[in-house]
Amino acid sequence: MDTKTSMILAIIAIGALPALSIYAWQTTNIYNEQNAVDAALLFVENSPTYSWDGVAGSIEVVEAYKTRNTNAVWEVVVAFTSANAGYGDRSDQMVATVITDHIITVTVEGDSVSAAVIDESWDELGDTEVIIDDTPHGEAEDMAIDFLKNGPTFSFDGVPGSIEVVDVIAAESYPVQYFITLAFECSHAGYGDREGEILAQVISTHEIRIALSNGVIGSAIIDNQWDELIQRPVSVNFVISPDHAKDIAVQHVKTEYHELEDAPIPQEWTVSNLTPEGLVGTTTLEFSGAGWTVRIHYAVVLEPVYNILVEYDNDAGFTWEGQIDSEGNLLEP
C-alpha cells in the first residue's frame, strides 16, 4: 500500500489521557509510523476545528517523525483547509467566510494522542490559545517523582530510596510535553491501594511512564499494565481500519462463494474517496483492482460499523453486501 493510500485509510483507536482532554482515547498500542499517522488523521477528522467547517478531502499528511529513540512517540504534521477563519467550534461566533489553510501537529505517544496544536497558536486538545510551557526540565522531573511518591501504588508499599529516573524527554511540541520514565520497587506484588488483599510478599520492580504538560499530569502507566491516574488496569480495544475491513470482506466472499475461490486478489488496490464534498461525519471509500470493486461507507466515530458492497466482474456479475464491526466481526444480515 502506498503512502497516499495509507493517508486515506485513516482510522484507528487511540488511547486515553483523561487529564488532558476528552479527545485522548484508549486503544491498542501504537509503535510504528503508519499507526501513528492513522491515529493523527482520525483525531483531525473528529477535532472541533475540522468538524465545524473543514473542507472535505483537504486533509493531507505533511510529515511524520519520531521524537525519541524508541517508536513510542511520534509527531505527525497534517495540513487541512477550513471554510472560515478561526479555530474550534465557532457556532456562537461571527466568523470571516474565507478559505483558510491550517497546519496541525499531532503528538502520538504510545497509545495516546497527547498534544495537538494548529498553526502553532491553537491548542486543539485544550480548546484554547497556546500557552508556551516554561516549566523547567528539572521541575518537570520533580513533579513526576512527587506524583509517584503520592500515588496509591508507591504510597502503599514503595521501597524508600528505590525511585530512579530512567529517561526524561521534552518533545518538540506546543505546549512542551515531558515524557518521564521512573523505575521503583515495591515490597509486594500488585498495583494501587491493596489494603485488605492477600499479597505475595516479594520485592517487585516497576517502571512508570508519566506524560505531563503545563504542570498537569496527563498520563501515568505502570509496567504497561496499570493506569495510576484512574486506578484500573490498562484496557486494550482493537479497531480495524477500512482497508482491513475490505480484506475481511473479500476473504469472506472467496471462502463462501465457490465461483470466486480462484479469483485473484490484487497486490495493490486503487483507492478513491467518494465522500461528497462538504459532507462531514461520514466517509465513503472505493477500492478497486483485478476485477474487484469494494465500496465501504462508515460514520467517522470511535467504533464504526463498516457497510460494505463487494462486486466482482465475473460472468454472473457477482455482488455481495454486508457489515463488519470495528473489531472485524461479520454482522448477521
Q: What is the pLDDT at residue 319? A: 93
Residue 160 within a domain: yes
pLDDT per residue as tens digits for the range 7-53: 334 333 333 333 333 333 333 344 578 888 888 999 999 999 999 99
For 263, the domain range is 242-331
Task: Catalogue the long-range contacts made by 56-64 (C-beta closer than 8 Å, 24 or more residues apart).
Answer: 56/275, 56/276, 56/277, 56/278, 56/279, 56/280, 57/273, 57/275, 57/277, 59/7, 59/10, 60/7, 61/3, 61/7, 61/37, 62/103, 64/33, 64/36, 64/37, 64/40
193-222: average pLDDT: 88
Q: Are residues 293 and 188 in the same domain?
A: no
Q: What is the pLDDT at residue 19? A: 34
Q: If we measure between CA atoms, which residue out of 62, 46, 132, 75 comes closest to residue 102? A: 62
Q: Are residues 25 and 120 in the same domain?
A: yes
Query: Quick one: DSSP state of residue 158?
Result: B
Residue 302 within a domain: yes
Q: What is the pLDDT at residue 102? A: 94
Asked if pLDDT for residue 179 goes beyond 70, the answer is yes
Cell matching residue 258: 465457490
Q: What is the pLDDT at residue 15? A: 35
Of 167 and 185, the one with more pLDDT: 185
Asked if pLDDT for residue 2 goes beyond 50, the answer is no
Rounded (5°) CA angle 217-223-228: 35
Which residue(s) pair with 139 in the sheet? none
Residue 278 within a domain: yes
Asked if pLDDT for residue 3 goes beyond 70, the answer is no
Alpha helices in 122-210 (DSSP H): 137-150, 152-157
- Given 200, 227, 254, which residue is the final one in a domain? 227
Residue 236 within a domain: no
Q: What is the pLDDT at residue 189? A: 92
Q: Are residues 188 and 261 in the same domain?
A: no
Q: Are residues 288 and 184 in the same domain?
A: no
Of 73 and 197, the one with more pLDDT: 197
pLDDT-based confidence at residue 142 (cuts at 50, 70, 90): very high
- Given 105, 129, 153, which residue is the final one in a domain? 129
Q: Which residue has the cell 470571516?
A: 96
Q: What is the pLDDT at residue 160? A: 95
pLDDT-based confidence at residue 173 (cuts at 50, 70, 90): low
Residue 234 within a domain: no
Q: Are residues 112 and 15 in the same domain?
A: yes
At residue 320, the 3 state secondary structure works out as: strand
- Given 106, 129, 152, which residue is the final one in a domain? 129
Asked if pLDDT for residue 324 goes beyond 80, the answer is yes
Residue 51 within a domain: yes
Domain count, the chain: 3
Q: Are residues 222 and 254 in the same domain?
A: no
Of 134 and 277, the one with more pLDDT: 277
Q: Do residues 158 and 205 touch, judged by C-beta distance below 8 A?
A: no
How far is Cα of residue 59 from the mean position of the Cα atoms in its chain?
16
Q: Are residues 25 and 98 in the same domain?
A: yes
Mean per-residue pLDDT of the chain:
82
Q: Are residues 9 and 101 in the same domain?
A: yes
Q: Are residues 74 and 112 in the same domain?
A: yes
Q: Are residues 181 and 223 in the same domain?
A: yes
CA–CA gap between residue 225 and residue 85 (Å, rounded): 43
Q: If we measure between CA atoms, which residue out of 161, 8, 174 comes closest to residue 106? A: 174
Q: Are residues 219 and 250 in the same domain?
A: no
Residue 235 within a domain: no
Q: What is the pLDDT at residue 165? A: 93
Residue 179 within a domain: yes
User: CB neighbours of 20 closer than 8 A, spacing ≥ 6?
Assistant: 114, 115, 125, 126, 213, 216, 218, 219
Q: Are residues 118 and 158 in the same domain?
A: no
67-72: average pLDDT: 54
pLDDT per residue as tens digits for the range 95-131: 888 899 999 999 888 667 888 999 888 989 888 887 6
Asked if pLDDT for residue 217 goes beyond 50, the answer is yes
Asked if pLDDT for residue 286 goes beyond 50, the answer is yes
285-302: average pLDDT: 89
Least confident of 16-30, 148-162, 205-219: 16-30
Mean pLDDT comparison of 146-160, 165-179, 281-295, highest-scoring range: 146-160
